[in-house]
Amino acid sequence: MQTSHHAILSIALLAAFADGRKADAEREQIRRIAESLSSESGDIDLARLYQDVLLKKVDLDAAARVLTSAEHRQLAYEMAVCVCEADGAMSAPEAEFLTRLRVALGLEEGVAAAIAAPAHAIAQAEVLPPETQPAAAPAPAVDEAAINKSILNYAILNGALELLPQSWASMAIIPLQIRMVYTIGKAHGYQLDKGHISEFIAAAGVGMTSQYLEQFGRKLIGGLLGQIAGGMGKNIGRAATGMAFSFATTYALGQLAQRYYAGGRQMPTGVLRETFQSLLGPARSLQQQYLPQIQQKAGTLDAASVMAMVRNG
């Protein structure tokens, strides 16, 4: 018999593959995440669930019927919206999937729109300033200390966002990673657009949908999702020791971008991925060192401040 957690995760995975256009690398990343989360969850075999979704053995209506409480139905819809919005461009099949899900969950259109609004606002936010200049030559002098400080600040912020129970918090992580890469490229004399940065992040092996699914899965399994009442600060300390993986991902991505743009963008895809993986280990060690700062930052964040940072840095 399915549990509510199993049903919500089923719906999230169905949303991840709703458009049918996921690249092989992204599918593989989602598979690895499912296997990893399966080892952490005592009662949910996410690796098997992943296979069932790919083989179309999971029924959306059946999963929706398991969710009998209004809170779980709304959470499932919110998660699906976030997964579909994760790459910043919802496709027609994804929009159709969300309509079918809303009906299956018995949500009124107004209620569903209100649930989706924060995620949609973050996904559609203008993360980067409009470019008015052509690509510039690499700058002759770069303040590496300032760049490293900026990378650390972004990593602490994204680690803090992962500790928050609200879904929109995880939605903000990817736009902030895009903004971080933009600032690093600009420091080296490059004017970058969102498309280039998204390609760079994907080439490094950091999938947008898979990254969000990992954050969501850890929050759900850790019991953090839905614990919104009573303020931000509660449960952060307890959750932090097993989460904040976005600190390491963001820090390693920033260091990779620093090397890539300092070297004149001359790093093949294979080297990009190998270098990113080599940077993750040290970044995870730093995560423990900066855990108090991550926790402290998490206690200061709200929807308005996060939205402002997505738009303005």
State how far Cα 21 lies from the chain centre: 18
User: So what's the pLDDT on residue 153?
Assistant: 96
User: So what's the pLDDT on residue 207?
Assistant: 77
Collapse the DSSP code of 108 into the 3-class scheme (helix H, G, I; strand E, B; otherwise coil) and give the result.
Answer: coil
pTM higher than 0.95 for the full model? no
User: So what's the pLDDT on residue 60?
Assistant: 93
CATH class of 4-123: mainly alpha
Cβ atoms of 210 and 23 closer than 8 Å: no
| pLDDT tens per residue across span 241-260 | 445 688 999 999 999 999 99
Find tokens 């895809």 and name the residue: 269
User: So what's the pLDDT on residue 233?
Assistant: 38
Residues in the chain with pLDDT values less than 50: 1, 132, 134, 227-242
Find tokens 């300092």 and name the residue: 262
User: So what's the pLDDT on residue 290?
Assistant: 93
Q: What is the C-alpha to C-alpha distance for residues 210 and 305, in angstroms, rounded to an integer?
A: 25
User: So what's the pLDDT on residue 235?
Assistant: 46
Q: What is the C-alpha to C-alpha distance for residues 212 and 131, in angstroms, rounded to an integer?
A: 28
Length of the chain: 313
| pLDDT tens per residue across span 77-134 | 988 888 888 776 788 889 999 999 999 999 999 999 998 888 788 877 777 876 545 4
- Indicate the domain borders of the chain: 4-123, 126-312
User: So what's the pLDDT on residue 230?
Assistant: 34
User: So what's the pLDDT on residue 223?
Assistant: 62
User: So what's the pLDDT on residue 151?
Assistant: 97
Q: What's at 138, amino acid-wise?
A: P
Cβ atoms of 189 and 138 closer than 8 Å: yes
* HSE toward the beta carbon, residue 47, CA cutoff 13 A: 9
Tokens found for residue 227:
């614990």
* HSE toward the beta carbon, residue 200, CA cutoff 13 A: 27
